[in-house]
Chain A
Amino acid sequence: MASSAGPDFDIVETRDLSRFYGRRKALANVSLSFKAGELVALFGPNGAGKSTFLGVLSTLLRPSAGDVTYGGRTAQDLGDAARTRIGLLGHELFLYGDLTARENLEFFGRLHGVTDLDARVGDALAAARLEARGGDRVASFSRGLRQRLALERALLHAPRLLLLDEPFTGLDDESAELLVARLRQLGGRGTIVLIATHDFDSADGLVTRGVCFRNGRTRDLAAGSGTLRARYRATLQEDWT
């Protein structure tokens, strides 16, 4: 893969992970394990801790207690190199409106040390179906187009851990289907994909596992053959004390 060398993550684990904002506990002793190729949906009400969890896994936030290991090593052990293998697509898209789509990809590709950058950027624009608009400023794009570009920005350096916060926001049906196909392909290549979402319909049939967040605590989705939405509701109704 055309990317900088970096540590390989075959498993990402959190142990007793907690995160406080002042006195409020956003994550409470979360212990989870994700293996290569898993596509995991993170469900939960607003403010349940999903975005904070992704923030800690991305290394942007430090845990208040507990730790995260990437392939058996902590972020501190790996240092800045940990981020060579992590891709993040947040609520906001990390794109510069005054730069063109191509310039945005080139900029982040250079920072990630992506080799064969021209070819990779061309592939990324094709994957986002933005070849014809590669020279247009991102400020002129609709939310959906920006979302597609931002996903390719997050994938440019071939991450082994992909963190997506509401990736289906602003996508039309066709784009959402393309995203689902892309994520399946990534999972098939061994990428760990974590998706924080409220879009049960898009996640249904895509994810291999679901985790429910509630008040900073987590629980695997209740087993059953129903839809993700039904299993999520059933999980929320369980006794969490």
Chain B
Amino acid sequence: MIGVFRAAWIIARKDLLVETRSRELVYTTLFFAVSCVLVFAWAFVREGKPIDNASAGVLWVAIVFSGTLALGRAFERERQSETLRGLLMAPIERAAVYLGKLFALLVLMILVEIVLVPIVALFFHAPIGRAPWLLAGLLVVGTVGFAAVGTLFAAMLVRAQSRDVLLSIVLYPVTVPVVMTGVQGTAAIFAAEPDFGLAQTCLTLLIFFDAVFVTLALWTFAPVMHE
């Protein structure tokens, strides 16, 4: 038997290879995220000037909405030809399936964010160069928390009839702390008078959320997948 991290890597690499071939998720997710930002720009930017403190919220809403789209589709692929059962038939820990899917989703969401952040900066005059590493840390760590819960719920709902609707209903209430903390930390960087201390605190809090969510997801994934 192979180890959990090696198995997770094999699954993640397969997901990324499939995505490289189809480019279905990256295009749809990116298109949706950019559309989201453009709609917000239409609403919140007047005569080239955005309303105060909108950029952080717009950025996170675009990430969360487009991420939800990616989560649903990532497991929809495994439903076709029942490949999820093929994965579960492999002599590997169930946690490896979860970690592999999570890692591939993170790569996709971070790729989308790399495109999204400059677009938000352009339309909302967000000072992304002010503390780039702190901003990157908030986005990556926040995305891990969101995707950790989302991957678990998407797997749970893979056989549900109304899975796309249900995913949003169950995912958003649980990830509210992650999103709010992410918005607050990002807003602290983008503010006219930046508060890097608050942003650091938010980053620490997000790391704590990540630890809790990933641990709980790893704990519950195996029983959820058994049936």
A residues whose Cβ falls under 8 Å from a Cβ of B: 4, 6, 58-62, 80-84, 86, 88, 90-99, 103, 107-108, 110-113, 137, 153
Partner of B81, one of A60, A93, A112: A93
Asked if residues A112 and B91 are in contact (CB atoms below 8 Å), the reply is yes
Query: Chain B interface secondary structure, helix, strand, loop or mixed?
Result: helix
Binary A-proximity of B17-53 (CB < 8 A = 1, otherwise 0): 1100110000000000000000000000000000000
Question: Complex Cα distance A125/B22, Å?
Answer: 24
Bound state CA distance, A60 and B226, in angstroms? 6
Which of A4, A61, A80 makes the CB contact (< 8 A) with B93?
A80
Q: Does A88 lie within 8 Å of B89, measured CB to CB? A: yes
CA distance A113 to B96 in the complex (A): 14
Q: A94-B86, A110-B10 are in contact. Are A99 and B18 (CB under 8 A)?
A: yes
**Of the candidates B18, B91, B226, which one forms a contact with A83 in the assembled complex, judged by CB atoms under 8 Å apart?**
B91
Most buried by A among B85, B91, B93: B91
Q: How far is the CB of B5 from chain A (nearest CB, A)?
A: 13
- Whether the pair B81, A94 counts as a contact (CB closer than 8 A) is yes
Residue of A nearest to B19 (CB): A98
A80 to B81, CA, bound (A): 23
B116 contacts partner chain A, Cβ-Cβ < 8 Å: no
* A103, B83: Cα distance in complex, Å: 14
Question: Contacts A61-B227, A84-B1 known; A94 to B82 CB distance under 8 Å?
Answer: yes
B80 within 8 A of A: yes
**Pick from B14, B85, B89, B226: contact of A62, CB under 8 Å:** B226
Closest chain A residue to B83, Cβ basis: A94
> Given known contacts A95-B81, A96-B83, A111-B2, is B88 in contact with A60 (CB within 8 Å)?
yes
A90 to B47, CA, bound (A): 61
Known: A62-B226, A96-B83, A110-B10; 12 extra A-B contacts, CB below 8 A, are A60-B85, A61-B227, A62-B227, A86-B89, A90-B82, A94-B81, A96-B77, A108-B90, A111-B10, A111-B11, A111-B87, A113-B2
B92 located at the interface, meaning its Cβ lies under 8 Å from any Cβ of chain A in the complex: yes
B14 to A, closest residue via Cβ: A107
B141 within 8 A of A: no
Report the interface size class on chain B: 20 to 34
Please list 30 pairs of residues, one from A and one from B, whose beta carbons are closer than 8 Å in the complex, sorted by A's number: A4-B2, A6-B91, A58-B89, A60-B85, A60-B89, A80-B1, A80-B91, A80-B93, A81-B91, A82-B91, A84-B1, A88-B85, A90-B82, A93-B81, A94-B82, A94-B83, A96-B18, A96-B77, A96-B83, A97-B80, A97-B81, A98-B21, A99-B18, A103-B17, A110-B2, A110-B10, A111-B2, A112-B91, A113-B91, A153-B86
B144 proximal to A (CB < 8 A): no
Q: Determine the main DSSP class of A at the interface with B.
A: loop
B85 close to A81 (CB less than 8 A): no
Which among B14, B83, B91 is the interface contact of A4 at CB below 8 angstroms?
A: B91
Interface centre among A61, A88, A97 (most CB of B within 10 A): A97
With both chains docked as a complex, state the minimum distance between the C-beta of A57 and any C-beta of chain B, in angstroms.
Answer: 12
Query: Are B18's CB and A113's CB within 8 A?
Result: no
**B17 neighbours in A (Cβ, 8 Å):** 99, 103
Q: Does B7 contact A (CB under 8 A)?
A: yes
Closest 4 CB pairs of A and B: A94-B86, A92-B82, A111-B90, A83-B91
Cβ contacts under 8 Å, B83 to chain A: 94-96
Q: Is the CB of B91 within 8 A of A84?
A: yes
Interface core residue of B14, B17, B77, B88 (most chain A CB under 10 Å): B14
Shortest distance from the beta carbon of A201 to any chain B beta carbon, whole Å: 27
Q: Which residues of B contact A94 (CB under 8 A)?
A: 81-83, 85-86, 89
B11, B77, B92, most chain A CB atoms within 10 A: B92
Shortest Cβ distance from B86 into A: residue: A94
Q: Known contacts being A99-B18, A103-B17, A111-B10, is A83 close to B90, with CB within 8 Å?
A: yes
- The answer, among A83, A97, A107, for a CB contact under 8 Å with B89, is A83
Query: Which of B1, B2, B18, B227 has the largest number of chain A CB atoms within 10 A?
Result: B1
Known: A4-B1, A99-B18. A107 touches B10 (CB 8 A): yes
